[in-house]
């Protein structure tokens, strides 16, 4: 089965450090999403891209977060500087409207900022 690949699976870092999370969407999917999940807030949409162009990043703290798609096979989410409140599971998901409505989540990156 095709799947969305996220790296790293786990990341522990100190406050103030830069964190980069990577995602390889499913080949042929033209829409890529970044979600963050915490116990308190649930799943929150941070940003999403269609055909590599950013469509909406209103859910993302702009002062420290940035999301890019340097090419169709790679999406990145960066946090600089990281803070303890950024501790969460970050999911990437991809989909394509012409391949059905459901889209596929990666296994997530569990980030802990100490």
Partner 1 sequence: GQNIDQPTEMTATEGAIVQINCTYQTSGFNGLFWYQQHAGEAPTFLSYNVLDGLEEKGRFSSFLSRSKGYSYLLLKELQMKDSASYLCAVGGTTDSWGKLQFGAGTQVVVTP
Which residues would be at the binding site for partner 1 (CB under 8 A)?
31, 33, 42-45, 48, 50, 55-56, 91, 95, 97, 101-108
CB of 56 to partner 1, least distance (A): 6
CB of 19 to partner 1, least distance (A): 19
Identity of the residue, 5 or 80, whose beta carbon is nearer to partner 1 in the bound complex: 5
CB of 107 to partner 1, least distance (A): 5
Whether 59 and 44 have beta carbons less than 8 Å apart is answered as yes
Identity of the residue, 50 or 64, whose beta carbon is nearer to partner 1 in the bound complex: 50
Q: What is the DSSP string of 37-73?
A: EETTTEEEEEEEEETTEEEE-TTS-TTTEEEEEEETT
| Pair of tokens at residue 100 | 């059905």
For tokens 């690949």, what's the residue? 5
């Amino acid at each position: 089965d095709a799947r969305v690949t996220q790296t790293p699976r786990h990341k522990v870092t100190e406050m103030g450090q830069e964190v980069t999370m990577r995602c390889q969407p499913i080949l042929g999917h033209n829409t890529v999403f970044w979600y963050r999940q915490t116990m308190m807030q649930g799943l929150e949409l941070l940003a999403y891209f269609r055909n590599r162009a950013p469509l909406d990043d209103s859910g993302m703290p702009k002062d420290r977060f940035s999301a890019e798609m340097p090419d169709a096979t790679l999406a990145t989410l960066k946090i600089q500087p990281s803070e303890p409140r950024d501790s969460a599971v970050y999911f990437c998901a991809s989909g394509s409207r012409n391949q059905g409505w459901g889209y596929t989540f990666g296994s997530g990156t569990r980030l802990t900022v100490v």
